[in-house]
Copies of this chain bind each other. A is one copy, B any other.
Amino acid sequence: MNVSVRTSSGAVLPASVGADDTRSRLLHAGLEMLFERGYHGTSIRDIAVGAGVQSATLYGHFASKEELLAELIVLGHEEHHRRLIDALMDAGTDPRDQLRALVSAYVTGHAEFAMLAIVANAELSRLSPEAAAPARLLCDRSRELLMTVVSRGVRQGVFVMDHPEITINAIASMGTSVALWYPPSADHLDVGVVCDTLSELALRLVLAPTP
C-alpha cells in the first residue's frame, strides 16, 4: 500500500506525485488553493507563492493553469480507481465481501484524500471537455466496478433490488460524502469504524431479506 506525502498545509496527494521538488510543491499548493477558493478563484500567483516560487516558474512544469488542475483531478480519480481494484483483489469471491471491500475503499480513500476528492469532483466541470476526458473515463470505470459487483450479486441471488441504478447511486454517494463530513469530526471517530459501519449499511441496501 502506498504511503501518502503530507505537507504542513493538510493538502495530501498520493505517493505517485513523488519527492519534494518544485513540481510536487506546486501540486500541493495548487490543491490547497483550489480546495479553498476554487479554480477561477485561485490565481497562478497564489499557487506559486504557496510553492515558494515565482508565477512564471509554474509554466516550466505545466502548460497552463488548466493543465495543473487536470493533473490533480486525474491523480484523484486514478488513486480512487486503483484502490477499488486493489480492494477487489483481496476480497475473495463472495459478493458481500466484495461490496464491503469497495465501500471500505471508498471510505479510506475519501478520508485520507478528502481535499483531493472534493476538488476532483467539484472542479471537474471547470475543465474543457478534452481536458476532463481522462478523468471522466476513470470515473466511469470506477462506477462500473461497483455496478459489476452488484449485478453479480443479483445474478447469484444474494442481492435483491427494485432499481439497481438508484441503489448504486445511493451507495456511491454514501461513500463519496465521507470526504465532506469525516475530516471535521475525525478526532472522535476511527476510520475503521466508519468503514465497518458504512459497509454494513451498504449491505442492508442490497441484501435479500432473510426468511
Binding site for B on A (CB under 8 A): 36-41, 122, 125-126, 162-163, 165-167, 169-170, 172-174, 176-177, 180-181, 185, 189, 193-194, 197-198, 200-201, 204-205
Cα distance A170–B204 when bound, in Å? 12
Residue in B39, B170, B172, B197 whose CB lies within 8 Å of A41: B39
The 10 A-B residue pairs with the shortest CB-CB distance in the complex, in nearest-first order: A173-B177, A40-B41, A40-B40, A170-B174, A204-B204, A173-B173, A166-B197, A163-B197, A169-B181, A201-B205
Task: Say how many copies of this protein the assembly contains.
Answer: 2
Closest to A194 in B: B166
Cα distance A197–B171 when bound, in Å? 13
**Chain B neighbourhood of A180, CB < 8 A:** 173
**Chain B neighbourhood of A166, CB < 8 A:** 189, 194, 197-198, 201
Residue in B37, B38, B163, B167 whose CB lies within 8 Å of A193: B163
Residue in B40, B170, B177 whose CB lies within 8 Å of A169: B177
Residue in B126, B174, B197 whose CB lies within 8 Å of A38: B126
Closest to A207 in B: B204
The answer on a CB contact under 8 Å between B170 and A201 is: yes
CB distance from A109 to the nearest CB of B (A): 16
Closest to A196 in B: B162
Which of A163, A189, A198: most chain B CB closer than 10 A? A163
**Chain B neighbourhood of A194, CB < 8 A:** 166
Cα distance A173–B176 when bound, in Å? 9
